[in-house]
Structure 1
């Protein structure tokens, strides 16, 4: 079974409702990382950070220098991007390095007329 995370736009109320549903039904909720709006999502998930997530997907823990080597970027820039992903809750850190604990990513949000 693939360990998939959904990344999307959701209000605090929607996130709370997901949690409450999972707690009351006993179902295991699909992992979800929510942003308040699409601007926050795209501000956090820049193309260079997507490259990092792509290489980390299913890869296990990676040291920062290895991430930089694999994306062919300088360590300083990758450090900044990885720490932004860490702050957003997308990446985890342990003694072995940085980890994106999912095998697949689904991005979900709806664009509606203004």
Structure 2
């Protein structure tokens, strides 16, 4: 069973990133709600999205350096999406959309629970 799950996640990185972004966003938001931080759901979605952006930008920067670019050009290219491949873009956008969907669902649940009181 676990072998099939790991095989699926390796074969479908954008989907696996989206699936791991769901509990990450919920966990960060729950911790921030407990700390009474302002706008915890949106902040959690932003944190998760930024994490995945950095992960994919780091990979692109590494690839661009190996293609012969100097360090500054590689860094700027990776930061501004220059030379990103479609899989890199998907592996950032999929968890970003998932994180914002979790944040929206948590906001709706919290608003409804406040109205019910």
TM-score by length of 1: 0.29
Higher relative contact order (CA 8 A, sep 6+): 2
Q: Which structure's residues are more often strand, by fraction?
A: 1
Normalised by the size of structure 2, how large is the TM-score? 0.29
Tell me which structure has the larger Cα radius of gyration: 2
